[in-house]
Amino acid sequence: MNNRTSDSDSLHWVLFGLLLALCLVVGVALFWEEPADSQGYGHGELRTMRQGGTGERHAQVLWLGAAFGVLQLLLFVACLGFGLRGARGSSREKRRALLLGGLLYLAVFTVLILAYQGYVKDPARLLVSLPPPTAVMLWVLWPFPLYFVLVYSLRFEDWVFRKEDSRRFRELVDNGPAGSATQTGRDSPEENG
């Protein structure tokens, strides 16, 4: 069995295991006893509005949320790796880029969870005029996937679809069955673009 096949097979199992773990976390959360006021409590003046109260109501289930978030991030990075598993280019370089991005993403998410824990204990602290977990979410966690976008876009022609692949694809399309609607002529937009 060659290395590519064993990598592909193991990645299938990693994805499957992550999905099972996500299902397990959701199942535990569904049957976990709901803390008092976890969905808010009635507002004093507006009866259709509910107030959230303090973040301490999340203390019992914060670890479930953290586990769910970590598993989602791992699944995201594994899916990116799944898309690159048969691609050309240095396998070590691709793994290193995804591993670095995944570890940094997990570190940022961990900082978010720790910032939330700290905020529950001291809600008066602000960071850039925002509660610390909100600041971390807005200024670090949300923009972080741009790392993966940049790696993918900068390395696309080396790792995913090279010019030789494009030429080979064009040959296959042009040599397809006669009268096929997929055949392209010399005047097609793909050839002139």
Q: State pLDDT tens for residues 10-30.
A: 888 999 999 999 999 999 989
State the pLDDT confidence band at 186, using cuts at 50, 70 and 90. low
| 43 within some domain | no
| 38 within some domain | no
Spell out the alpha helix ranges (H) of 32-145. Answer: 62-84, 91-121, 132-136
Beta bridge partners of 127: 130
| 188 within some domain | no
Rounded Cα–Cα distance for residues 158 and 181 (Å): 31
Q: Which residue has better confidence, 37 or 132? A: 132
Mean pLDDT (the chain, rounded): 82
| Number of domains making up the chain | 1
| 91 within some domain | yes
- The kind and range of the H/E element at 51 are strand 50-51
| 118 within some domain | yes
| 119 within some domain | yes
| 52 within some domain | no
Tokens of 6: 């064993």
| 40 within some domain | no
> CA triplet 130, 54, 118: central angle to 5 degrees?
55
Rounded to 10 degrees, the C-alpha dihedral 147/148/154/155 comes to 140
Range of the domain at 157: 3-31+57-172
Residue 170's nearest CA partner among 189, 151, 156, 183 is: 183
Contact criterion met (CB below 8 Å) for 107 and 118: no
Contact criterion met (CB below 8 Å) for 22 and 75: yes
Residue 4 has pLDDT above 70, yes or no: no
Rounded Cα–Cα distance for residues 124 and 174 (Å): 67
